[in-house]
Amino acid sequence: MVGIVLREIFWELIYAPVWWYTFGAVGAVRRFYERLKEGNQYLGWSVWLTNIFTPMYAQYDLTGRLISIGVRVVQAAVRSVLLIVWLAVSLGILAAYFLVPLIAMVEIIYHWQLILS
């Protein structure tokens, strides 16, 4: 009986952090990647980039092409900035996954020592 309680406590409290930085971390990185893909899909960033020399609105004349490239470069730039912001947010979430438990642990130890002293 006591064995079971100890086993469960061990499994829940000791194994949890191990899992967090191993199997759990793999999941977190995968979710980060999915989030980036979603951002690209939403902003159409790669679509704009691959079509940078394709004239917009089927204007195949020279003026059309020139205007089109101008607009597309601006568009691609704006979208790139937005994507970078999105990347930063995603990275923030990923960093939080890895760092917050560590910070919490450090804080706990720090305050624990404060109490002891």
Partner 1 sequence: MPRLAFSCQHCQGTGRLPDETCQSCFGIGHGIILGGYLVYWQKNLTKEEFFLDHFSLVVRLTIRLVAFLLALSGILYAVFKALLDISVGRTFVFFNLPLEDGAESLFFWVSIMAIFYIYSGLERDLANLKRIPSRVYEDEVRPQSEAASFDSRHRLNIADTLAPDVRSVLADAFVLAEKLQQPLGAIHLLFVLLRHASVRTVLARLGVNPAELGGKAGRLTALNSPAGPNDLETIFFQAYVRAYGDRQKNIDPVDLFAAVGTVDPRSREVLYDAGVDEQKIDNVLAWHLSVKRQYEQWRHWRIGSRHRPRNRLDRAMTAIATPTLDYYSQDITELAQWGMFLPTVSRGEMVDRVVRIFQGGRSAVLVGYPGVGKRGVIEELAERLAADDVPAILKDKRLVSVSIAKIVSGATPADAEARLLKLLDEVAYSGNIVLVIEEIQGAVGITSGQAGSVDMAAVLAKTLRQRRTLCLATTTPDDYKRVIERTVLSSLFERLNLDEPSINETIQIVESRVGRIEAKHRVYFSYDAIARLVELSAKYIHDRFLPQKSLSILDELALFTKEHRGQDIIMTVNDVDLFMSQKLGVPLSRVNKNEAELLLHLEDRLHERIVDQETAVTAVAEALRRARAEVRDQKRPIANLMFLGPTGVGKTELAKAVAAVYFGEQNKMVRLDMTEYQELASLSRLIGSAEGGSAARGILTEAVRSNPFALVLLDEIEKAHVDVINVFLQVMDDGRLTDSRGQTTDFTNVILIATSNAGTSFIQEAVRSHMPMPEIERQLMESELKHHFQPEFLNRFDNIIVFRPLTTEHVLDITRLMLRKVGERLAEQGVTISVSDEVIKELATLGFDPLFGARPLRRVIQEKVDSPIARLILEGRLERRDQIILESAGKLTVKKAERL
Site of interaction with partner 1 (CB under 8 A): 1, 4-5, 7-9, 12-13, 16, 19-20, 23-24, 27, 41-42, 44, 47-48, 50-51, 54-58, 100-101, 104-105, 107-108, 111-112, 114-115
Give the residue with the Cβ less far from partner 1, 13 or 62. 13
CB environment 83-115: b (16+ within 10 A), e (fewer): beebbeebeeebeebeeeeeeeeeeeeeeeeee
- C-alpha distances in Å from residue 113, one per residue of 31, 35, 49, 100, 108: 37, 40, 55, 20, 8
Give the residue with the Cβ less far from partner 1, 57 or 63. 57
Q: In the complex, what is the shortest distance from the CB of residue 56 to partner 1, in angstroms, rounded to a whole number?
A: 5
Q: In the complex, what is the shortest distance from the CB of residue 90 to partner 1, in angstroms, rounded to a whole number?
A: 17
Give the residue with the Cβ less far from partner 1, 24 or 87. 24
Q: In the complex, what is the shortest distance from the CB of residue 29 to partner 1, in angstroms, rounded to a whole number?
A: 14
Q: How many CB atoms lie under 10 A from the CB of residue 45?
A: 19
Q: In the complex, what is the shortest distance from the CB of residue 50 to partner 1, in angstroms, rounded to a whole number?
A: 8
Rounded distance between C-alpha atoms, residue 41 and residue 91, angstroms: 18
